[in-house]
Amino acid sequence: MPAITPERAGGKNRCAFLDMLAVSELGPLLGVSDNGYNVIVGSVFSKTGNHKLDLFTDYRTHPRKVVALPKLGIKSSAAGRYQILARFYDAYKSQLKLPDFSPISQDLIALQLMKECKAFEPLDRGDIKTAISRCKSRWASLPGAGYGQNEHSVDHLVKAYLAAGGTVA
């Protein structure tokens, strides 16, 4: 579950979407971390026990660790439950007047990104597929994002959304 309450987020579907995003971005890392809020990009969970976990413990600010991802040919500063880049954290910290990179602040940034993608209206009426599609420019793991990273199927994400208590029309 996200740290933010459904009341503050604007409804249970928005919280379920946050959970779905975390499943999409982090998968099994949710269970071996602080609900994903402390995960640095490049962390890997292996069923064989070969975990490569890179976690941070100080929520006062974004960890700003740049990690090389050779398979993708990029470097990234993504961190937290929604894999927020350091440069976006800086902008949203100012815009939203956030005190830190705590779980609540991460939730608020993700909600702002959803709002900017115009995902609230379809999400609030239970049109999860449209909400996912509208957010694909913000999260590389969403179907159709086109960033060359692992994209999940809509069916997988709808199941995660429903498991988190979201409703569909």
- The single residue of 25, 116, 121, 151 carrying the catalytic annotation is 25
Asked if residues 40 and 56 have their Cβ atoms less than 8 Å apart, the reply is: yes
What radius of gyration, in Å, describes the C-alpha atoms of the chain? Answer: 15
25 included as an active-site residue: yes
Q: What are the DSSP calls for 40-102, one per residue?
A: BTT-B--TTS--B--B---TTS-----EEETTTTEEE--BTTTTB-HHHHHHHHHHHT--SSS
* Alpha carbon distances (Å) from 116 to 13, 29, 136: 17, 27, 12
Three-state DSSP state, 14: helix
Three-state DSSP state, 39: strand
Let me know how many helices (H) and strands (E) the chain has, helices first.
7, 2
| Residues labelled as active-site residues | 25
